[in-house]
Structure 1
Amino acid sequence: MDKQSLFVQVANLEERIGELYVELGTLKDKIIALIEENQRLEQELERYRTGAALPPDGELTSSGKDNLMRIYQEGFHICNVKYGSLRTDGECLFCLGFLRK
């Protein structure tokens, strides 16, 4: 085996190790994001289980508008366009218009 082919093999191996290192870093970032999302969801679930999502005085109003306002503040659409789906893009003009009626 000559020195040139040995050098080429080492260079190829070094390049593959670099690519694996980049891929490992990407996977690590994805795992961190998933862990953070999981913790956020677990905290939200615990809030709902313990009733922390309810008003502090523990009393619910019987007004339908108050219930819709609470649902909207929890992050769901209340408009007829997307009723019940999660609001991912911030405020919804349809929902806000409905609440202002």
Structure 2
Amino acid sequence: MNGHHDSNNIYDRFAQVTKQTRELVASMEQLQAQVTQIMEKNAELSIENDHLRTLLKKQHQPQNPDHLSGSRENLKRLYQQGFHVCSEYFGKRLDPHESCTFCIDAIFGHEEGK
């Protein structure tokens, strides 16, 4: 009879450990779902944070009225090297110490879209 009692005790313990294991697995699955949600939210916030930093940098950069687009910078360099950049005389040499109002307007005139 003692052997039968031990068998029941072992079976009961096995059933209890099985139940605890299932509960542990269920708890781990819940934790995994929560970790996944947290990681997804963290990724979203990181992306949003990067976008906001970019916007802040753009807003806090000092506005330089002399800032020229790349193409206007090229025109400015050509003009400084002594060439007309206006549509009227484009490519022709400037006389020494000559300035051209048309060239100045082509370089520094109001850019479209500003």
TM-score by length of 2: 0.44
TM-score by length of 1: 0.49
Considering Cα pairs closer than 8 Å and 6+ residues apart, tell me whether 1 or 2 has the greater RCO.
Answer: 2
